[in-house]
């Protein structure tokens, strides 16, 4: 396996951090016995969590399971928006803070649950006026402003499914996602602030619609950046293209939302009604529309938020993810609000105006729980300790990590420099498809080890599977696995075993499928290891039953915490007129986890100057897919290493890009190709 090197270094990690007695004493959950209790009757465990939500009508059956189709809380009726807002207001918490928002220019807003209820109701009524009904899909392409979260909730309120597309995606990517979901209405903003500039969202929307989006009837546009020259907190909006207004199609937010009634009833949704679609990269290049439904999803995110982040009434919770990713859905919006939390939202870049922006936000708002990604942590490490050290971070009490494996060095830095050595770290493994966190410490119970996501959440069983499909999990867990012991009787010797990660039972927030593609859903997740869910990750379990996640085993790259398929970038490259063939790989990168390296063959008829063409190809990928897909390296080559059947051997390209000794080349059609490539790569990189 390609990840063997990572495994070996990871497993040399021997430091461990038990929860402090003070933290454990106050924690929402501190009894290790909950693991065994949950595994004795997982359905009862989840039913109890579902009971903590508000249902218009209670379910009659906890689970109907016909692999791969799960139905949770069958017969129940509820509304996600009601659970996130109305019930807190009805309980007398209208004045409680819901969102503490900071725009990049330093403008800020604090919004209470009572105010959110009014604003979301107005947005929901505006959506109705625009023709949106129960069952319709609404595409959201917005910056990280409170209106983004409130628009998601407004959709949920009236029973329309949202499909949020990350504001960094290009017009092509947006168009593809709109069309796959057949969204009726598109909601955007004129632009969003990013590193002192403005991302011209409306302009990109215009381009996407020009490419053809037949299902879109109306475009609702929030004014965020304003016209160039507009002053926000002393900063003038720079020049940017605001797009072309199309009367009849485009509607100004200010014209329609503010005049709506602030009363809008919540649509009672079936537990299994669609809540949202969220697109994630697949290995074939076509993004997968991951489907989540209402009752199970909300149960999963509410439970994990409360236990993993130990959320209390006085916490100020900041998950730094954008709502364009699943982490933003589950831990900026639905999980925290279902728990009535106070949530920090930040619009812009971590280095605007300076590299201490995150720490200024923590200091200013007294953030107690911070949830961010290893790629960000490594960037902060690179910037140096001076930035966090000049801010008061003493409000922090718990830190979280998500998106990719966190290397022990970054974990230790996070622990010491950000957490001041006193905050537990929860390294949480999960996916767009899992909806909520599945493998994670519980901060009042679990002894953590830097680099390990530790144990499955209560009621979840995870395993290591070998190539042949056998469960080879070496230890039945210190806490969470079959043995359900408190740790004392867990074996402490014996080899760690690596292989494919699998989840053994259904769980409430699991995806209900790929939008309109049941066959692909089965093939991708359920075919490889019959009876078990295969997330596509490699993992290792050590002698104490701790899980060490190792990244993707297929050809999806994980760049700065975001999934990008090699195929997606390859198709963008061959879309360029000069490129005949392309092979893309993810190579290890200190900061981003993986960086994109592209090997391209140029059409023989093209005359070119290398540096110029390489720059052009990088820009082309960014334009086609989004800036996140810009390759770090583009190597122009005459040949690509291929098997005799014509398959590109990406493993060898990875070896070349990472400067490793070449593995097995015997299946190569022409072994000389790789050496030539390596010489070229080394000369161009150096
Ligand atoms: C939540 C999210 C999912 C993939 C997943 C895995 C990687 C996420 C991780 C992690 C190691 C962690 N991943 N968290 N790997 N340790 N704590 O990131 O969803 O964008 O769908 O990505 O991210 O490879 O399969 P998504």
pLDDT in tens, 336-365: 999 999 999 999 999 999 999 999 999 999
Domain's final residue, options 210, 235, 267: 267
Query: Which H or E run contains 33?
Result: helix 33-40
pLDDT grade for 493, boundaries at 50, 70 and 90: very low
Mean pLDDT of 248-260: 98
pLDDT grade for 684, boundaries at 50, 70 and 90: low
pLDDT at 619 over 90: yes
Domain's final residue, options 240, 267, 294: 267
| Residue 252 belongs to some domain of the structure | yes
pLDDT at 559 over 80: yes
Considering only CA atoms, give the Rg of the chain: 25
Ligand 1 is surrounded, with C-beta below 6 A, by 280, 325-327, 402-405, 427-432, 453, 535-537, 549, 551-552, 558, 563
| Residue 177 belongs to some domain of the structure | yes
Which has the closest alpha carbon to 430: 345, 373, 379?
373
What residue's CA is closest to ligand 1, atom 1?
431
What confidence tens digit (pLDDT) does each residue in 24-51 have?
999 999 999 999 999 999 999 999 999 9
Number of domains in the chain: 2
Mean pLDDT of 619-640: 90
Mean pLDDT of the chain: 90
CA 585, CA 595: separation in Å to the nearest integer?
8
| Residue 650 belongs to some domain of the structure | yes
pLDDT at 379: 86
Mean pLDDT of 670-680: 77
Buried b (16+ CB within 10 A) or exposed e, 428-456: bbbbbbbbbbbbbbbbbbbbbbbbbbbbb
What confidence tens digit (pLDDT) does each residue in 407-452 have?
888 999 999 999 999 999 999 999 999 999 999 999 999 999 999 9
CATH number at residue 651: 3.30.300.30
| Residue 16 belongs to some domain of the structure | no
Domain's final residue, options 236, 267, 298: 267
CA 385, CA 380: separation in Å to the nearest integer?
8
Q: What count of Cα atoms within 13 Å lies in the side-chain half-sphere of residue 392?
A: 6
55: Cβ–Cβ under 8 A, 6 or more apart, which residues?
A: 76, 77, 78
| Residue 224 belongs to some domain of the structure | yes
Instruction: Name the pTM for this structure.
Output: 0.86
| Residue 124 belongs to some domain of the structure | yes
- Ligand 1 center to 558 CA (angstroms): 8
pLDDT at 581: 82
pLDDT at 569: 87
Which residues, in sequence order, are bridge partners of residue 137? 161
| Residue 336 belongs to some domain of the structure | no
- Ligand 1 center to 405 CA (angstroms): 8
Expressed as residue numbers, the domain containing 628 is 575-685
CATH number at residue 146: 3.40.50.980
Ligand 1 atom nearest the C-alpha of 536 is 25
Q: Of residues 59 and 657, which shows the higher confidence score? A: 59
Which has the closest alpha carbon to 637: 607, 667, 610?
610
Cβ–Cβ < 8 Å for 145, 601: no
- Ligand 1 center to 270 CA (angstroms): 29
What residue's CA is closest to ligand 1, atom 12?
429
How many of the other CB atoms lie within 10 Å of CB of 469?
15
Cβ–Cβ < 8 Å for 256, 220: yes
pLDDT grade for 11, boundaries at 50, 70 and 90: low
Mean pLDDT of 535-563: 83
| Residue 318 belongs to some domain of the structure | no
pLDDT grade for 482, boundaries at 50, 70 and 90: very low
pLDDT at 284 over 80: no
């Amino acid at each position: 396996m390609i990840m063997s090197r990572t495994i070996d270094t990871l497993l040399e990690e021997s430091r461990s951090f038990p929860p402090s007695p003070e933290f454990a004493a106050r924690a929402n959950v501190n009894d290790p016995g909950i693991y065994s209790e949950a595994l004795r009757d997982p359905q009862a465990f989840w039913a109890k969590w579902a009971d903590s939500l508000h249902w218009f009508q209670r379910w009659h059956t906890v689970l109907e399971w016909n692999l791969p189709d799960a139905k949770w809380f069958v017969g129940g009726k509820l509304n996600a928006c009601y659970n996130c807002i109305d019930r807190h207001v009805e309980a007398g918490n209208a004045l409680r803070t819901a969102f503490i928002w900071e725009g990049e220019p330093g403008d800020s807003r604090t919004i209470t649950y009572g105010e959110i209820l009014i604003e979301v109701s107005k947005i929901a009524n505006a959506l109705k006026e625009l023709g949106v009904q129960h069952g319709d899909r609404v595409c959201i392409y917005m910056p990280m402003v409170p209106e983004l979260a409130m628009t998601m909730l407004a959709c949920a309120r009236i029973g329309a499914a949202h499909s949020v597309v990350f504001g960094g995606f290009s017009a092509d990517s947006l168009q593809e996602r709109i069309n796959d979901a057949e969204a009726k209405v598109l909601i955007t903003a004129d632009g969003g602030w990013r590193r002192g500039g403005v991302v011209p969202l409306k302009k990109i929307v215009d381009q996407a619609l020009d490419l053809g989006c037949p299902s879109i009837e109306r475009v609702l546009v929030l004014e965020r950046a304003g016209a160039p020259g507009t002053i926000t907190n002393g900063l003038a909006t720079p020049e940017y293209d605001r797009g072309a207004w199309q009367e009849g199609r485009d509607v100004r937010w200010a014209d329609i939302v503010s005049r709506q009634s602030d009363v809008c009833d919540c649509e009672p949704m079936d537990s299994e009604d669609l809540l949202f679609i969220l697109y994630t990269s697949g290995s074939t290049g076509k993004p997968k529309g991951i489907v989540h439904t209402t009752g199970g999803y909300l149960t999963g995110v509410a439970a994990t938020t409360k236990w993993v982040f130990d959320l209390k009434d006085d916490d100020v919770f900041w998950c730094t993810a954008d709502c364009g990713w699943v982490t933003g859905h589950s831990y900026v919006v639905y999980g925290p609000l279902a728990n009535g939390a106070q949530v920090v939202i930040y619009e812009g870049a971590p280095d605007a105006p300076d590299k201490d922006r995150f720490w200024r936000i923590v200091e200013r708002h007294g953030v107690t729980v911070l949830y961010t990604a290893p790629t960000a942590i490594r960037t902060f490490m690179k910037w140096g300790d001076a930035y966090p050290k000049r801010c008061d971070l003493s409000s922090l009490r718990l830190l979280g990590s998500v998106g990719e494996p966190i290397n022990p060095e970054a974990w230790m830095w996070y622990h010491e420099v950000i957490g001041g050595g006193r905050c537990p770290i929860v390294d949480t493994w999960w996916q767009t498809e899992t909806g909520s966190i599945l493998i994670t410490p519980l901060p009042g119970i679990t002894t953590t080890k830097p680099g390990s996501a530790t144990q499955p959440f209560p009621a979840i069983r995870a395993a290591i599977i070998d190539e042949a499909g056998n469960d080879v999990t070496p230890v039945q867990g210190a806490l969470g696995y079959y043995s359900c012991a408190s740790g004392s009787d867990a074996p402490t010797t014996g080899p760690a075993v690596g292989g494919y990660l699998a989840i053994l039972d259904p769980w409430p927030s699991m995806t209900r499928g790929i939008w309109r593609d049941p066959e692909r859903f089965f093939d991708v997740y359920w075919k490889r290891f019959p009876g078990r869910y295969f997330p596509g990750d490699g993992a290792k379990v050590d002698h104490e039953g701790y899980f060490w996640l190792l990244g993707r085993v297929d050809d999806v790259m994980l760049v700065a915490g975001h999934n990008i398929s090699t195929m997606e970038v390859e198709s963008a490259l061959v879309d360029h007129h000069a490129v005949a063939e392309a092979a893309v790989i993810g190579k290890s990168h200190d900061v981003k986890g993986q960086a994109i390296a592209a090997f391209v063959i140029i059409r023989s008829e093209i005359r070119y100057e290398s540096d110029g063409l390489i720059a052009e190809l990088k820009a082309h990928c960014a334009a086609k897919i989004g800036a996140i897909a810009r390759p770090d390296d583009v190597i122009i080559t005459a040949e690509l290493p291929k098997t005799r059947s014509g398959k590109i051997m990406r493993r060898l390209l990875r070896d070349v890009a990472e400067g490793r000794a070449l593995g097995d080349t015997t299946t190569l059609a022409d072994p000389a190709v790789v050496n030539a490539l390596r010489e070229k790569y080394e000369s161009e990189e150096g």
